[in-house]
Every structure is written in structure tokens, then in C-alpha cells.
């Protein structure tokens, strides 16, 4: 449809095209004459034929436009022509696609495994929002839990009500036995900056437990209630009023957060900064090897060590009175739950003088119950769990049936060794390390796997690792050098941690 062109401009355009074409023709003729000096007539005839074809095409185009414009005599403004172009560009082509063949075979559920095998990972029978909670049979219990949560937030001065500010993003919230902010709606650089928060290394916990067994120290466990609510916000964040608890007469107002909520991206970091500030105020020093290990020398020969794993704490010391004093100070600053003598850390089951055992039997049985494998047959073939877990982790994005069968075989190995425990204590305070590596064991990338382990005070493992090397080694010597380098790095880290702990 011709809607934005006039006859006169078209004729001017055609004349310019003819002029350009003539210039190109003569330049082409000169070049062809230089290339073919003995065939001038052939070159001239060829170019004249091309010029005739071009002129004929331009004449046909001009005549076609004249006929169309005679039938449709109208002029369209520039604005209307732009709108027409936009309308034409917005038209989508409808392509016919062949119908997808759908199988009519009836699906038969597995008789060996639970039909809700994958639902077990997320579905725990709990409501995910306020409306779900008030529709359940236990709605009174859920409402009571939400009221306790709101009262705790008010007591902690977590937010205040303010008028809505134009052009400011308002975060939504949801309930899951506590008020949770929808942190996925936050924008980096506006609602948060840094979000990294350290946690104590598992190796550090094992070292301290060996320290406890070696010197027969006291060990207590604490839990922080609503830990993330103690962190102070550095950014200005607004949130809708909690559903079901909107203040009457202030429905138009929103909540401005003064402290962190669960779900905010910066909540773990702000909680750690708040706790670190508290520990420094009471003369605790943070170790350079692990930022979540705090130590303080109370007097000559008397010290106290605190390990922080998010909201769980382990306190180690010689004097139970010193530990109780620290717990009292922590309770005045944060809402704490005293768990008494440590029993649940890493499955600690029993302890005697200078000896303690760590076992994962209860956790293993819980996993077997969850995946309906209580009746599976155990296997006793020796297995390197660290290597197996690293190998299976490569297929997490797209697991196949053979991967699942291999994981089940490892589960059967765990069932046969669930009674095996790690024993700390009962030996000389010596740190001993071992390392080994294969040569291009990974058939896909031709990379080698290195392993190391360290024992301390009694021969039980303190630190270990099994993983692929980051580069492709060309010789066995190079493989061994890389493995020894990794082992020595861990050795230096352990020696520095021991020195900071006074071992």
C-alpha cells in the first residue's frame, strides 16, 4: 500500500538514480578497458545491455507508481506515515506449526519408589502465605505464631510506619512462621551493596573439638533467636505492611525498615557485623585464619574460644564460670537460647575424659527414611566419600539414571558404615599429613585428581579434601608437585590456626 510517497519526489529520485548509474557505467567501462584492451567492443556492448536493463526497470517502477497514485489520489503527512510504518512493523506473521504428537499410553506409577519422591524436597505441609495459613485447620496456631512474630519485631524496633514516597520501590513480604521480606525484588546498588557473610569452617570446628578432647575443656552451645533481626540496615528500604496486621487508619502508609528482616540479601552480613562489633567491644580477638573464631585470654592460663556458624555458637574454655559470664553478656545484647553442654554439633553422641566421638548415624537414618530406602541392603566395599561426592556434583545440572543408581550405591555403603565414628583424643599432639594424586583420571577433561588428609592427636582425621586440579598436567611429576603444593597450603593454614589457639 503506497501511503507516504508523492509522484514528483519519485521522479526526482529516479533521475538521480539514472545519473548515479551512468557514472558507475562509465567507470566500469574504463576499468574493463584497462583489463581487456583488445576487446573494447565486447565491453561496450555488455555495459550498454546492463544500462538498458536498468533503465527499463526504472521505467516500469515509475509507470507502476503512476498507476497506483492515479487510483489512490491522497497525500499523507509525515506523522501519519511514521504511524503507518509502525503499524506495519507490529504485524506478526502467523506460522502454522505441525501438531505435537502426544502419547496416549497410560502412566503407571512406580511400585518401588514413592510417587511423591520429588515433592519431598520442598513440600512439608506448611502454608506459604497468609491466606493459606488462615484456611488451614491449625489457623489459630498460625495466627498466634504470627502475632508473636509481630510483637518480636515491634519490640526489636525493626520498622516504623511512614507515608509512601514517590518513585521508591516497596518490597512485599510473606509469612512462614515468621515475617520474611521478598529479597529477590531488591536491586543491587540501590537496596544493597555487599552481601557476603563468613561462617566458621568445618575444619576449624574439628580442630577446636580436638583441642577440647586433648585438654579436657568445657564446651557449651548457644542458639540466637531471630539472629538476622539484630542487624542494622545501612540502606533505605520500604516494605508493605504485613498482611493481616495492617494498622487501622494507616492503610495508606508503608513500613520503613530500620533493621534487617529474614529474606533480605544483606541480612546475614549485617548480623555478622553486629556480632563482631559486640565481640570486639568485650576484648575478643578475631583470628586471622578464620573470621568466625573469636578468642580471649581471661587470665594467665585461662582463655575462652567462641565459634560462630550463622546463629549457632560453640563456647570453649577451662572455667565454666567464665563461660557463664559470657553467656550472660550475650543474653543482654541478643535474644539467646541456652542449649547447655554441646551434644548436637556434628552428631556428637558421647564423651569421656579426654575422648569424644562424632557420629552421623541419626542423620543417615533420617535420610534413608526420607527416600524410602530403609530396607535397602548395605555394602561393605571401602569407598572414598570425598571423591564420590565431588564426582556426583559434576552431574547435578543434568543427572541421568546411571548417576542416580551410583548415588543409591553410596547410600547403601553409608548404611553399612553408619555405626562408624570419629574419635578425638588419646594420642600425642602431632600434626601429620598425607597427599596423593592420579594421572589424568578425569576422562572428559583429562585433569588429575589430588587428595590430602591431616591427622592430629590420636590419628583421627582433622582436615581432608579430594578434588580435580585446575589445570591439565603433562607429566606425573607435575601432578605430584601440584598435589604437594595444595597439601602444604593447608598445612600452613592449620599451623597458623594452632598458633593462634595457643596449641
Domain check: are 406 and 494 in the same one?
no
214 and 253 fall within a common domain: yes
Q: Looking at the predicted structure, is the pLDDT value of residue 4 above 50? A: no
Portion of the chain with pLDDT greater than 90, in percent: 22
Q: What is the pLDDT of residue 45?
A: 47
Proportion of the chain above pLDDT 70, given as a percent: 69
**Grid cell at residue 450:** 589430588
In this predicted structure, the answer to whether residue 318 has a pLDDT above a threshold of 50 is yes
The angle at the Cα of 493, spanning 218 to 208, to the nearest 5 degrees, equals 10
Tell me the pairing of strands 285-286 and 422-424. Answer: unpaired
* Residue 411 forms part of a structural domain: yes
Mean pLDDT check: name the lowest of 250-264, 351-365, 481-495: 351-365
pLDDT at 368 over 60: yes
Q: Is the pLDDT of residue 116 over 50?
A: no
- 156 occurs within a structural domain: yes
Query: What is the pLDDT at residue 168?
Result: 61
Q: Is 391 in the same domain as 438?
A: no
DSSP state string for 380-405: -----HHHHHHHHGGGSSS--HHHHH
Q: What is the pLDDT of residue 65?
A: 47
Q: Which residues contact 367 (CB under 8 A, 6 or more apart)?
A: 411, 414
- Does 322 lie in the same domain as 220? yes
Examine the pLDDT at 486 and tell me if it is beyond 70: yes
Count other Cβ atoms within 10 Å, centred on residue 67: 10
Domain count, the chain: 4
Answer yes or no: do 335 and 370 share one domain.
Answer: no
Tell me: pLDDT of 136 over 50.
yes
Domain match, 327 and 411 both: no
Location of C-alpha cell 510473606: 174
Chain segment 92-115, per-residue pLDDT in tens: 444 444 555 666 777 666 555 454
pLDDT tens per residue across span 220-247: 999 888 888 888 888 888 888 887 788 8
Instruction: Give domain status of residue 408, yes or no.
Output: yes
Residue 361 to residue 430: CA distance in whole angstroms: 29
Q: What local confidence, expressed as pLDDT, does residue 326 receive?
A: 92
Residue 241 in any domain: the answer is: yes
Query: What's the pTM?
Result: 0.66
Q: Residue 444: its pLDDT value, please?
A: 85
Q: Indicate the pairing of strand 449-456 with strand 170-171.
A: unpaired
| Alpha-carbon Rg for the chain in angstroms | 38
Nearest Cα neighbor of 54 from 78, 97, 18 is: 18
CB 222 within 8 A of CB 327: yes
Q: Does one domain contain both 320 and 333?
A: yes
Residue 165 has what pLDDT? 66
Contacts of 439 (CB under 8 A, 6+ apart): 448, 473, 476, 479
Determine the 3-state secondary structure of 232 from DSSP.
strand
Predicted pLDDT at 182: 78
* One domain, residues 321 and 407: no
Give the mean pLDDT of 432-436: 91
pLDDT at 269: 92
Among the listed ranges 17-26, 64-73, 137-146, 373-382, which one has the minimum average pLDDT value? 64-73
pLDDT (average), residues 290-307: 89
Residue 126: the pLDDT is 67
Q: Residue 91 falls within a domain, yes or no?
A: no
Same domain? For 168 and 231 the reply is yes
Domain, as residue range, for 484: 427-501
Same domain, 29 and 174: no
**Are 148 and 286 found together in one domain?**
yes
12's enclosing H/E stretch is helix 7-35
Mean pLDDT on 267-282 = 92
Q: What is the DSSP letter of 184?
A: G
Residue 96 corresponds to which cell in the numbers above?
A: 502454522
- The interaxial angle of helices 401-416 and 361-370, nearest 10 deg, is 140
Among candidate residues 390, 416, 442, the one where a domain is terminated: 416
Which of 125-134, 182-191, 237-246, 461-470 comes out lowest in average pLDDT?
Answer: 125-134
Q: 295: pLDDT confidence band, cut at 50, 70 and 90?
A: very high
Beta bridge partners of 255: 161, 239
Name the pLDDT band for 438 (thresholds 50, 70, 90). very high
> Can you tell me the mean pLDDT for 320-330?
92
Question: Can you give the pLDDT at residue 5?
Answer: 40
113 within a domain of the structure (yes/no): no
Domain boundary among 356, 375, 397: 356
User: Between the CA of residue 15 and those of 2, 19, 27, 55, 68, what are the distances in Å?
Assistant: 20, 6, 19, 10, 20
Q: Give yes or no for residue 78 having a pLDDT over 50.
A: no
Amino acid at each position: 500500500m503506497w501511503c507516504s510517497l508523492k509522484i514528483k519526489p519519485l521522479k526526482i529520485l529516479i533521475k538521480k538514480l539514472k545519473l548515479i548509474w551512468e557514472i558507475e557505467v562509465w567507470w566500469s567501462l574504463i576499468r574493463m578497458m584497462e583489463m581487456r584492451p583488445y576487446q573494447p567492443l565486447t565491453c561496450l556492448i555488455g555495459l550498454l545491455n546492463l544500462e538498458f536493463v536498468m533503465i527499463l526497470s526504472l521505467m516500469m517502477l515509475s509507470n507502476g507508481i503512476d498507476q497506483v497514485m492515479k487510483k489512490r489520489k491522497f497525500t499523507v503527512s509525515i506523522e501519519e506515515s511514521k504511524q503507518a510504518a509502525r503499524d506495519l512493523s507490529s504485524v506478526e506473521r502467523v506460522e502454522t506449526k505441525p501438531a505435537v504428537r502426544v502419547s496416549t499410553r497410560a502412566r503407571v506409577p512406580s511400585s518401588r519408589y514413592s510417587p511423591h519422591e520429588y515433592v519431598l524436597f520442598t513440600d512439608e505441609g506448611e502454608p506459604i502465605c497468609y491466606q493459606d495459613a488462615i484456611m488451614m485447620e491449625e489457623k489459630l496456631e498460625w495466627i498466634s505464631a504470627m502475632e508473636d512474630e509481630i510483637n518480636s519485631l515491634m519490640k526489636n524496633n525493626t520498622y516504623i510506619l511512614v507515608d509512601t514516597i514517590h518513585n521508591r520501590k516497596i518490597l512485599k513480604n510473606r509469612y512462614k512462621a515468621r515475617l520474611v521480606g521478598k529479597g529477590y525484588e531488591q536491586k543491587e546498588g540501590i537496596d544493597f551493596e555487599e552481601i557476603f557473610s563468613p561462617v566458621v569452617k568445618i575444619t576449624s570446628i574439628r580442630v577446636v573439638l580436638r583441642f577440647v578432647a586433648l585438654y579436657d575443656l568445657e564446651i557449651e552451645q548457644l542458639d540466637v533467636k531471630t539472629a538476622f533481626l539484630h542487624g542494622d540496615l545501612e540502606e533505605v528500604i520500604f516494605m508493605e505492611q504485613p498482611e493481616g496486621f495492617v494498622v487501622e487508619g494507616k492503610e495508606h502508609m508503608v513500613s520503613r525498615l530500620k533493621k534487617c528482616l529474614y529474606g533480605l540479601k544483606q541480612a546475614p552480613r549485617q548480623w555478622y557485623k553486629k556480632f563482631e562489633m559486640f565481640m570486639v567491644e568485650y576484648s575478643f580477638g578475631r583470628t586471622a585464619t578464620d573470621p568466625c573464631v573469636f578468642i580471649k585470654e581471661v587470665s594467665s592460663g585461662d582463655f575462652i574460644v567462641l565459634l560462630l556458624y550463622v546463629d549457632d555458637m560453640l563456647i570453649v574454655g577451662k572455667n565454666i564460670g567464665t563461660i557463664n559470664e559470657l553467656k550472660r553478656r550475650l543474653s543482654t545484647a541478643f535474644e539467646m537460647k541456652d542449649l547447655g553442654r554441646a551434644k548436637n554439633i556434628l552428631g556428637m553422641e558421647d564423651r569421656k575424659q579426654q575422648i569424644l566421638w562424632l557420629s552421623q548415624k541419626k542423620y543417615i537414618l533420617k535420610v534413608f527414611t526420607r527416600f524410602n530406602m530403609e530396607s535397602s541392603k548395605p555394602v561393605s566395599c571401602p569407598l572414598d566419600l570425598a571423591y564420590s561426592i565431588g564426582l556426583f556434583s559434576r552431574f547435578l545440572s543434568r543427572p541421568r539414571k546411571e548417576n542416580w543408581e551410583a548415588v543409591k550405591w553410596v547410600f547403601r555403603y553409608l548404611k553399612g558404615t553408619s555405626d562408624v565414628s570419629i574419635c578425638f583424643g588419646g594420642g600425642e599432639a602431632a600434626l601429620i599429613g598425607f597427599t596423593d594424586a592420579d594421572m589424568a583420571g578425569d576422562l572428559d577433561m583429562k585433569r588429575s585428581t589430588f587428595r590430602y588428609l591431616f591427622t592430629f592427636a590420636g590419628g583421627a582425621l582433622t582436615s581432608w579434601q579430594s578434588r580435580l586440579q585446575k589445570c591439565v598436567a603433562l607429566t606425573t611429576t607435575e601432578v605430584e608437585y601440584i598435589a604437594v603444593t595444595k597439601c602444604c597450603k593447608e598445612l600452613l593454614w592449620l599451623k597458623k590456626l594452632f598458633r593462634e589457639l595457643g596449641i
